[in-house]
């Protein structure tokens, strides 16, 4: 595949979770008109414990795999079920220093094989929108574990 070719978001993104010690892959599909820009393609997750890690990955050229955004315990960002909606809104407005101090908001960007910058910007914008701005969707998703 030519590296200048843009990857369609509808087939590129997946969430890989570790649920009860076993990997679980949820593919995402992209709906630009939806209030939640990235949605899970499959509805149910089996397992009683919350996921221990989530990674967002996408394919790259020449068969080389790369993890794009990896964050251990990312589920804590969304998965706290005892927060009221007003608390969630206040929490999202916390400063970067407060997030850093909490150590729940850590997101590391792994080494990324150079891709066309437009695709990378689009991908990172949509992934961060999914992770930080779409709390309502994430709370519904992770409420199954509580």
The predicted structure's pLDDT at residue 18: 57
**Are 51 and 18 in contact, with CB atoms under 8 Å apart?**
yes
- pLDDT by residue (tens digit) across 33-49? 555 444 444 444 444 44
The predicted structure's pLDDT at residue 142: 58
The predicted structure's pLDDT at residue 33: 56
The segments of the chain whose pLDDT lies below 50 read 1-12, 36-54, 57-94, 96-97, 99-120, 128-135, 146
* pTM to 2 decimal places: 0.23
The predicted structure's pLDDT at residue 24: 61
Domain-wise residue ranges, the chain: 9-44, 92-145
């Amino acid at each position: 595949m030519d590296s200048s070719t843009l990857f369609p978001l509808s087939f590129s993104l997946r969430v890989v979770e570790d649920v009860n010690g076993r990997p679980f892959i949820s593919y995402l599909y992209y709906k630009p008109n939806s209030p939640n820009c990235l949605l899970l393609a499959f509805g149910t997750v089996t397992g009683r414990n919350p996921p221990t890690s989530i990674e967002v990955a996408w394919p790259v050229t020449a068969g080389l795999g790369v993890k794009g955004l990896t964050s251990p315990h990312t589920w804590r960002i969304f998965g706290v079920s005892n927060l009221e909606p007003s608390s969630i809104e206040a929490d999202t407005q916390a400063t970067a220093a407060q997030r850093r101090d909490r150590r729940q908001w850590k997101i590391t960007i792994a080494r990324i094989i150079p891709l066309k910058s437009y695709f990378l910007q689009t991908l990172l914008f949509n992934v961060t929108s999914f992770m930080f701005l779409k709390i309502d969707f994430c709370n519904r998703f992770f409420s199954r574990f509580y």
